[in-house]
Structure formats: structure tokens, C-alpha cells
Amino acid sequence: MSLLEIKHLNKSYDSKTNVLKDINFEIESGDLVSVIGPSGAGKSTLLRCINRMVNFDDGKIIFDGKDTTHYKKRELRKLRTDIGMVFQHYNLVPRLTVIENVLHGRLGYKSTIQGLLSMFTEVEKENAFSLLDTLGIVEHAYKRCDQLSGGQQQRVGIARALIQNPKLILCDEPIASLDPNASKVIMTYLKQITRDMNITCIVNLHQVDVAREYSDRIIALNKGAVVFDGSHLQLTEERMNHVYGMETRELITV
Ligand code: ADP
């Protein structure tokens, strides 16, 4: 059974222009799938439809065997504990410590009052330290997040997603603000997470060369439609031109 099935998904923001047009694909557990395509192609909107940060007009999204299309408040809350999110600008609370930010990933499991009082169990705290250790930043646990480099902050963002115990992690341009070395570290950790923890990752990427190096599969969007879906070996020069068009093609590093 696929972890995620997207069927005939259409989305518009203004009910005139379709930002996503008849999107169809399935994703298996434990894959690292990159979504590439020019700016404005709909990559971010696609990710936001999957965890329902935005609603879509029609189509179906089936996650872990359940049709989430008509999910309301309570079901959406549960869905979002199963789907972690990693953002380009990390979305951490800068004045809080690393460990506090990681523990925030557990808030989806708490009542409002437990959340307000930051009531976390010993097991949750142990897990948070263990994840920081896995991601190589445990020595920074008590530092404020704004004292960390961009790459380290993104690792905190990944730990915060992982502590949710998700089945799927959506990463929206996770390396767009990082230098090449920090980008490599982040992509290596994402790859490791899919392989060792059997967590599926869908990663929006600008950098085609990175998508080629780390992904099990690449899905390319152009103007809201899927124009390529396959392995990096199948992403030939000709198909790349189809994804980006000849004009924008020169701007992309391959
Ligand atoms: P990408 O991630 O590939 O750059 P986006 O999903 O961000 O693409 O955007 C796809 C299209 O949807 C763009 O034309 C963008 O301007 C539009 N768009 C994105 N978010 C909104 C929004 N909140 N309201 C209106 N239009 C939006």
C-alpha cells in the first residue's frame, strides 16, 4: 500500500487560475522524493495541500490508507502529527533554547493547558536529546536558537519534525538559505532518516543537481502540472528542457 496517493488534485487561489492542475501520483514508504520545477510552478502549494495548510478545489488525497479530503478540525490535528514540516527559514522560536524548540514538536499531542505550561514527559525529553545527538548538535541543546548557524538551526527544525513521530516529512526548500556544505549535511541527514527510520520525505528543491544526487525519485512541476516523474537516471537533458523551458534552463545548475 502507498503511504500517499494524490488523485486528480486541482487547486486555485482565486478560483480562476489553477495553480495545480490534475496532479496524480503515489509515494511509497521510506522514499526520498524531490519536487523540482521553476519558481511559481506550484511546489510549495502542493506540499501545503498534503498537510492541508491550504485547501484544494477538487481531487483526493489519501494518506496512510485514509481519505483525508474532507477532514475537519480534530482529524486535521491528528493528520498534522503524522506529517512533519521543515521550512526554508526554519520557523524556530529564536529566543528559546534548542531543546525547547525541539519539544515544541510534541505540542500537537498536548492539551492547550499542557502546551501552555510546556509540560513534557521525561521520555519526550530523552527523545529530544537523542534526536539532537543523532543530528550531531546535542552539545548545543541549551543554547538559544539564534546563536546557531543556519545549518544547525535547520537540524533543530528536522529534530522538531522527527519528535512528532511522523510517517511523512514535508520539506519546503530546506536548503535554499544554506551554503553548499551545510546543504550537503542537511540532505545527508534527510536521506539517512528515510533509510534508517523508514520515514518518507518529500523535499521541494531549487537545485536540480542536489535532487539528482539524493533522491530515490524526482517529480517535476511546470505551471502546476507534473511534467516528469521518475528516477534521476531518467531525467535526461531533453526532459530537463521540458521541465524548465529553454529560456530558464540556462539559470539552473545541473
Ligand atoms: P513554487 O513553490 O513552485 O515557487 P508556489 O506554490 O509558491 O510555487 O506558487 C504557485 C503559484 O501560486 C504562484 O503563481 C504564486 O504566485 C501563487 N500563490 C502562492 N501562494 C499564494 C497565495 N497564498 N495566494 C495567492 N496566490 C498564491
pLDDT tens digits, 145-204 = 999 999 999 999 999 999 999 999 999 999 999 999 999 999 999 999 999 999 999 999
CA of 13 to the centre of ligand 1 (A): 8
The C-alpha atoms of residue 129 and residue 74 are separated, in whole angstroms, by 29
User: Is residue 250 assigned to a domain?
Assistant: no
Residue 29 has pLDDT above 70, yes or no: yes
Residue 253 has pLDDT above 50, yes or no: no
How many of the other CB atoms lie within 10 Å of CB of 231? 11
Residue 61 β-bridge partners: 6
Interval 128-157 mean pLDDT: 97
Which residues lie with the beta carbon below 6 Å from any ligand 1 atom?
13, 19, 37, 39-45
Q: What percent of the chain has pLDDT over 90?
A: 83
Q: Which of 18, 19, 57 to mutate to test the pocket of ligand 1 (most atoms within 8 A of CB)?
A: 19
Interval 71-95 mean pLDDT: 95
Q: Which residue CA neighbors atom 25 of ligand 1 most closely?
A: 13
Q: Which of 13, 15, 170 to mutate to test the pocket of ligand 1 (most atoms within 8 A of CB)?
A: 13
User: Is residue 210 assigned to a domain?
Assistant: yes
- The pTM is what? 0.94
- The tally of domains found in the chain comes to 1
User: Is residue 249 assigned to a domain?
Assistant: no
Q: How confident is the model at residue 242 (pLDDT cuts 50, 70, 90)?
A: confident
User: Is residue 254 assigned to a domain?
Assistant: no
Domain CATH code at residue 178: 3.40.50.300
CA of 117 to the centre of ligand 1 (A): 36
Distances, alpha carbon 222 to alpha carbons 56, 97, 106, 127, in Å = 18, 40, 36, 40
Number of helices (H) and strands (E) in the chain: give both, helices first: 9, 10
Which residue range(s) make up the domain with 134? 4-244
User: Is residue 91 assigned to a domain?
Assistant: yes
Distances, alpha carbon 122 to alpha carbons 125, 129, 218, 231, in Å = 5, 11, 40, 42
Q: How confident is the model at residue 252 (pLDDT cuts 50, 70, 90)?
A: low
Amino acid at 77: R
Q: Which of 45, 88, 173, 248 to mutate to test the pocket of ligand 1 (most atoms within 8 A of CB)?
A: 45
CA of 134 to the centre of ligand 1 (A): 35
Q: Which residue CA neighbors atom 12 of ligand 1 most closely?
A: 19
CA of 41 to the centre of ligand 1 (A): 8
Q: Which residue CA neighbors atom 18 of ligand 1 most closely?
A: 13
Residue environment code for 172-200, b if the CB has 16+ CB neighbours within 10 A, otherwise e: bbbbebbeeebbbbbbebbbebbeeeebb
User: Is residue 156 assigned to a domain?
Assistant: yes
User: Is residue 253 assigned to a domain?
Assistant: no
Under 8 Å between Cβ of 192 and 162: no
Strands (E) in 37-179, as ranges, are: 58-63, 66-67, 83-86, 168-172
User: Is residue 125 assigned to a domain?
Assistant: yes
